[in-house]
Amino acid sequence: MIRKHHLAITVLCLGFAGEAAAAGIVISEVLADPHSESKGEFVELYNAGDEPVDLEGWPLGDSRDVNDTITDFTGPHDAGLAGTVLAPGAYALVVDPDYEGEYNDRISAEGDSGRLLMLTINGDRTLGNGLGNSGDLVFIKRDDVTIDRFEWTESAGGNGISWERPRFDLPVEASNRLPSSHPDGSTPGFRNSTASDLPPTPGPEQPVTPGEPEEPAQPEEPATPEEPEDPTQPEDPADQEGPEGPATPEEPEEPAQPEDPADQEGPEGPATPEEPEEPVAPEDPEEPTGPQTPAEPETPAEPEEPVAPDGPQQPMDPDDSVEPDEPGGPSEPMAPQDTGSSMESVIINEIMFNPGPNRTEWIELHNRGSDAVDLAGSALRLDHVERARLVSSGGLSIEGQGYLVIAHDVVLFRETHPDFGGTVVEATGGWERLRNSGAKIWLLDAVGKPAHSAEYDEDSNPDPGRSVELVNPDFDPPVWGPSADPRGGTPGRRNSLHVTRIPDSVTVHFSNNPFSPDGDNYEDICLVTVNLPAPHGILHAMVFDIHGRFHKTLIDQATVASRHVFTWDGTDQHGRVLPAGPYILYVEQMLPALDRLTASKHLVVIAASP
């Protein structure tokens, strides 16, 4: 019945979905690194427009495959509506053609299967050419016009963790692309775990807007009837007539009268019903003033313009007379800052202590929280230096989920990292050299209390020009290792070593084995995933034929993270395609943290094209 009903709606809606409506379709989430590489990838779409849009035939591709088009998923594990018309405010989940229903329980528990579309692609068995775990892009088009694209340059954090788009009204950039924080690693077909809706401030500001009691300036004209003036005091006492409140408290027991003027004075209506209820309980003459202020706890900010933050705090005191006597109220919100609690989410995330020639030392901070943190008064101190170096004396903050770099030489840092688009500053009062032999660094808050610390030694990174990264701030004790990024560091980006957990043993997994590198965009490459039981390691991988003849080096003593993915396109060391047949992949792993060397051999088959 649901399918028939939806099909009827589809026919009615097709005529209304035009180019303008198509522009409302956005890519909201991408899972490129599922637990099942060949059956678990998905691309989630969302209709942020006001009209339904038919997605049938829309091209969906990645950086290596542009031949796929969207169609309805009709497999046995279909958990959505029939058809391809996406309603406004609804999600569409584009899955692999061989999808086996691994997200259906999650959709049933947290999604809306009555509005969800489950789609797939024509022309291939995988989304794109198999979405790249550590970097790729996905696009959707209509009539050769790109409607949206979603690009990532690193892994979201491991198997089963998706990239989410917090804001649908902004393009997908580093600041608008976050790993899913959902306990299961992704949010297929329902609201993103990192969703950041358009200014949530109107919600809390609504109690502030009641500052519209300034309009009572108009009711003051009918205020000539002195009787309504008694009820209007709960409005006028935007803390200006607080003292007059006690003169009238004996009469607030006349709520029936304020209700009449409330009908005449619309804005005062909502305020008066709250006022009579609260004074009735206390029955004290002073209590009417109490309901006046709590009823509009934030409105006092308007009459007391210079002391706007004091309004909501002072009403907490039962005595109205205390309100004017406590101008020091602002010191109360300052207290949390003095305790340094606002810096709890800021950590030392990456350190370049041995930059090599013609480069500069630097330290990266990361704000793990969602709110911006003011760095005024914060400082860095090394264990071998008594004096702390001030990070900022004011006017510097670090955005929620953002990064900030403190460098010895800002100009040299930007020359070394031309792609860095974030904030980089020099410490006030000079820079203390980071010893290559090791040191401990403290990040101090405005009152000198440690907010975070990091410790490294000369074994943390033997290679000049390569930073040391924090693997995961949740690991206890902290685990650091040399950056696995080819550029030697990841300033302003998620650390290359980041993983949610460290495996118990070495494992090697293959996707597309056998594979056929014939250029038809179907299983043209073999994807190899290596998991190491350490935060980082050194990897070496080579290809031999079954007679032991060497053909190609795929990875040459490269520093890698606990989880590393690489590919083989079926060519030899000179780029020539090898003939069909079996080959041996030799993988060698050096684990410095465990002082261990392991190696393994694996059979890989190049299949003949039909």
Distance CA(24)–CA(51), nearest Å, equals 8
Domain limit, last residue, from 293, 311, 335: 335
Residue 357 covered by a domain: yes
Convert the pLDDT of each residue in 452-487 to its tens digit.
999 998 777 767 899 999 999 888 888 898 898 888
255 pLDDT band (50/70/90 cuts)? very low
Residue 16 covered by a domain: yes
pTM of this prediction exceeds 0.75: no
- Provide the domain count of the chain: 4
Convert the pLDDT of each residue in 318-342 to its tens digit.
444 444 343 333 333 333 333 334 7
Residues in contact with 567: Cβ distance below 8 Å, sequence separation at least 6, in sequence order: 525, 526, 527, 528
Residue 328 covered by a domain: yes
My answer on whether 283 and 252 are in the same domain is yes
Range name among 179-183, 184-188, 201-205, 248-252 with the lowest pLDDT average: 201-205
Question: Which whole-number Å values give the CA distances from 351 to 311, 334, 364, 479, 608, in the listed order?
Answer: 44, 31, 6, 13, 49
Residue 489 covered by a domain: no
Domain limit, last residue, from 318, 335, 352: 335
Domain limit, last residue, from 298, 319, 335: 335
My answer on whether 374 and 325 are in the same domain is no
My answer on whether 449 and 478 are in the same domain is yes
DSSP line for 3-55: HHHHHHHHHHHGGG--HHHHTTEEEEEEE-S-SSTTT--EEEEEE-SSS-EE-
Range name among 320-334, 363-377, 399-413, 587-601 with the lowest pLDDT average: 320-334
My answer on whether 512 and 532 are in the same domain is yes
Residue 203 covered by a domain: no
Higher pLDDT, 371 or 561: 371
My answer on whether 304 and 270 are in the same domain is yes
Each residue of 441-470: b (16+ CB within 10 Å) or e? bbbbbbeeeebbebbbeeebbeeebbbbbb
Specify whether the CB–CB gap between 508 and 534 falls below 8 A. no
Distance CA(271)–CA(596), nearest Å, equals 72
Report, as an integer, the average pLDDT of 416-424. Answer: 92
Residue 524 covered by a domain: yes
Convert the pLDDT of each residue in 58-116 to its tens digit.
999 887 777 789 999 988 889 889 899 999 999 999 998 889 999 998 998 898 878 89
Residue 530 covered by a domain: yes
My answer on whether 104 and 171 are in the same domain is yes
Amino acid at 271: A
Starting at the edge strand that comes first in sequence, how are the strands of the sheet with 480-482 ordered?
Answer: 423-425, 403-407, 362-367, 346-352, 468-470, 480-482
My answer on whether 79 and 100 are in the same domain is yes
The pLDDT value recorded for residue 122 is 86
pLDDT value at 21 more than 60: yes
My answer on whether 21 and 170 are in the same domain is yes
My answer on whether 119 and 52 are in the same domain is yes
Residue 201 covered by a domain: no
309 pLDDT band (50/70/90 cuts)? very low
My answer on whether 417 and 469 are in the same domain is yes
Domain of residue 446, CATH code:
2.60.40.1260
- Three-state SS across 463-521? CCCCCEEECCCCCCCCCEEECCCCCCCCCCCCCCCCCCCCCCCCEEEEECCCECCCCCC
SS3 (DSSP) at 268? helix
My answer on whether 353 and 283 are in the same domain is no
Distance CA(469)–CA(484), nearest Å, equals 9
Domain of residue 532, CATH code:
2.60.40.4070
pLDDT value at 421 more than 70: yes
Q: Which tokens go with 31?
A: 């899972």
Percent share of the chain, pLDDT over 70:
72
My answer on whether 152 and 23 are in the same domain is yes
The rounded mean pLDDT for the chain is 77
Higher pLDDT, 282 or 184: 184
Range of the domain at 445: 341-482
